[in-house]
Chain A
Amino acid sequence: MGNLTPDDWRQDISPDLSNLHPDGLILGGLREMGWQGFGDGPLVLDSHPADVGRTPWTVSDASAAARPAPAGPALNQDWTQLPRLDAIEAGEHGSGYYVYGTDDTERIGTAARGQWGRPRTMEVINAVADRLATGDSYTPLGIGNISLPTGGRFPPHRWHQDGLGVDVRPARTDSAQLPVTYRDQQYDRAATQRLIDAFHATGQVDKIYFNDPMIGGVQPSKGHDNHFHVQIKR
């Protein structure tokens, strides 16, 4: 089985109903990347010729065929989608932010699907970007998952349902817009502290979860070596 490419990662998920099993089970047909569902029907493992070499085993169930097609997402009317800035605004001149996160290709408009939030959340992000832009040192601000446009559960997050939680990447010494953990050589602790301080300076932050013990203004939480979670006050 060959390596999966980023393009593989970004392929849409769509159940292939043509593979309906005589017993009523759908075998295969779900693409590997992204979140794929399985239901309460009998679970079946089987191979699918089209998936050989990339997704040899998939799990699906009969109930998927019986379910009506889901309606389009009901957007939260009072929520705002974080705008995706162009390259210059996103950091080349030391201002703005860039975005990353879940379902980057399933965009609605110009930003990632998982970056919907309350207006106050957007105000905080913009205030942080503005504060960083006026500093002496360039501090890249990478904004990840906030909430889905419909709110609701957002795997793999415990919460991220109220538009008030924001994931942010720690800063890197090379300023690259890439993942980094606080244990990596490329991790920029001083710039990350500036990020944390800028969020607290808004006066709108309830808690920030991050695991670097040398960073102030945060509390540790499992799974927060490579990003920090900012919870905005209600």
Chain B
Amino acid sequence: MIRPISGWTLFAIVMVLAFGSWPGFAAPDDKAHGKFSGEYTFYSLSLGDTGPPTKKDTKVNIWMSGSFAAQLYRRLGNESRGESCSEAIEVREKGNLVCSRVRATGEVNCGLGFDLRTGKSVLGMIC
């Protein structure tokens, strides 16, 4: 006898089918700490016109690239589309986390900053 599928079971099946095989959401990526590449710099004032870091004003900008940046971009989702500054790139951003994707090459980079005096995040990328 075939039993009807409950709503929650159907939902679970749909979610597995939808996300289970998507590389960016694959279980191994979620369970282990991954490695990533990038660059960083310390500065004062604000991005776009920085000064040397001082005792009273030190911020760090972290620039992420490679597959980690690509995952961030994908996970931010299309709904977080941001201002691109140029037709050559697509941008996704939430708060101070900003990722840009070069349309021609697919290269993704993400930026996030922190004010080391307060510990709060600051804007990670500018036009």
Contact = CB atoms under 8 A, between A and B. Distances in A.
Interface of A: 1-6, 8-10, 32-43, 59, 100, 102, 144, 153, 155-162, 165, 167, 169, 179, 181, 209, 221-227, 229, 231
Contacts of B83: 221-222
B118 interface: no
Main secondary structure of the interface of B (DSSP, over half): strand
The residue among B39, B42, B49 with the most chain A CB atoms within 10 A of its own CB is B49
B12 interface: no
Given A156-B61, A165-B86, A231-B85, A33 B36 contact: no
B40 A165 contact: no
B15 to A, nearest CB: 30
A158 B51 contact: no
B interface bracket (residues with beta carbon within 8 Å of A) = 35 or more
Contacts of B109: 153, 155
Contact of A9 (B52, B102, B107): B52
Interface of B: 35-42, 45-55, 61, 63, 65-66, 83-86, 88-89, 91, 98, 100, 102, 107, 109, 111, 113, 123-127
Given A32-B42, A40-B37, A43-B35, A222 B126 contact: yes
A157 B65 CA distance: 13
B124 A156 contact: yes
Given A4-B54, A157-B125, A223-B126, A100 B49 contact: yes
A224 B48 contact: yes
B41 A37 contact: no
A156 B66 CA distance: 16
Contacts of B49: 100, 144, 167, 169, 179, 226-227
Nearest to A219: B83
Given A144-B48, A224-B48, A155 B85 contact: no
Contacts of B111: 155-156
